[in-house]
């Protein structure tokens, strides 16, 4: 009464030849587009930038290899490829990214290969960069230091800070 199914096997089936031809024809094209889509998408697909809206308040560190656009408030360190701090945004913590664009407020150290402070930027902290651009009107309190590799977290800058504080107090 039961026999092995021959749906996926090529060749005519006893009784129905027309449906079998359709099943065979539809079975062959289905795997080809799936495999070609799979191969084409991953190498060229770039994820969209993550956006943190203006009503969002995050307490904690953020880390990604992608891009982040912040419009809200972040209390913590941020590590990204491209970081954009919006005009109404506030970041309290260390910022590290290949490209940093500050339109809003950052309280803490900024590290980046390319750092740009726009005319609406407010930065209170040190900036360690490879290249920097500061537009007229930007507010900045801190020191600026150029390094060939500003993203490396060597202990040099952090070691100097406690020494300076201990000499003052």
Provide the percentage of residues in the chain whose pLDDT is more than 90: 59
pTM over 0.75: no
pLDDT digits (tens, 9 = 90+) for 43-94: 556 778 889 999 999 999 999 999 999 999 999 999 999 999 999 999 999 9
Which pLDDT does position 152 carry in this prediction? Answer: 84
Which pLDDT does position 140 carry in this prediction? Answer: 95
3-state SS, one letter per residue, for the chain: CCCCCCCCCCCCCCCCCHHHHHHHHHHCCCHHHHHHHHHHHHHHCCCCCEEECCCCEEECCEECCCEEEECCEEECCEEEEEEEECCCCEEECCEEEEEEEECCEEECCEEEEEEEECCCCEEECCEEEEEEEECCCCEEECCEEECCCCCCCCCHHHHHHHHHHHHHC
User: What is the chain's mean pLDDT, rounded?
Assistant: 78
Stretch 109-136: mean pLDDT: 96
Instruction: Please check the confidence at residue 167 and state whether its pLDDT lies above 50.
Output: no
């Amino acid at each position: 009464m039961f026999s092995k199914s021959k749906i996926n096997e090529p060749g005519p089936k006893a009784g129905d030849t027309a449906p079998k031809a359709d099943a065979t024809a539809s079975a062959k094209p289905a795997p080809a587009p799936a495999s070609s889509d799979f191969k084409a998408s991953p190498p060229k697909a770039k994820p969209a930038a993550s956006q943190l809206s203006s009503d969002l308040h995050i307490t904690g560190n953020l880390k990604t290899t992608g891009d982040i656009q912040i419009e809200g408030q972040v209390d913590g360190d941020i590590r990204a490829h491209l970081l954009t701090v919006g005009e109404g945004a506030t970041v309290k913590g260390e910022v590290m990214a290949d490209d940093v664009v500050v339109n809003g407020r950052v309280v803490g150290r900024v590290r980046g290969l390319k750092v740009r402070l726009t005319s609406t930027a407010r930065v209170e902290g040190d900036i360690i960069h490879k290249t920097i651009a500061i537009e007229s009107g930007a507010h900045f309190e801190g020191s600026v230091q150029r390094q060939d590799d500003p993203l490396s977290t060597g202990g040099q800058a952090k070691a100097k800070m406690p020494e300076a504080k201990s000499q003052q107090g």
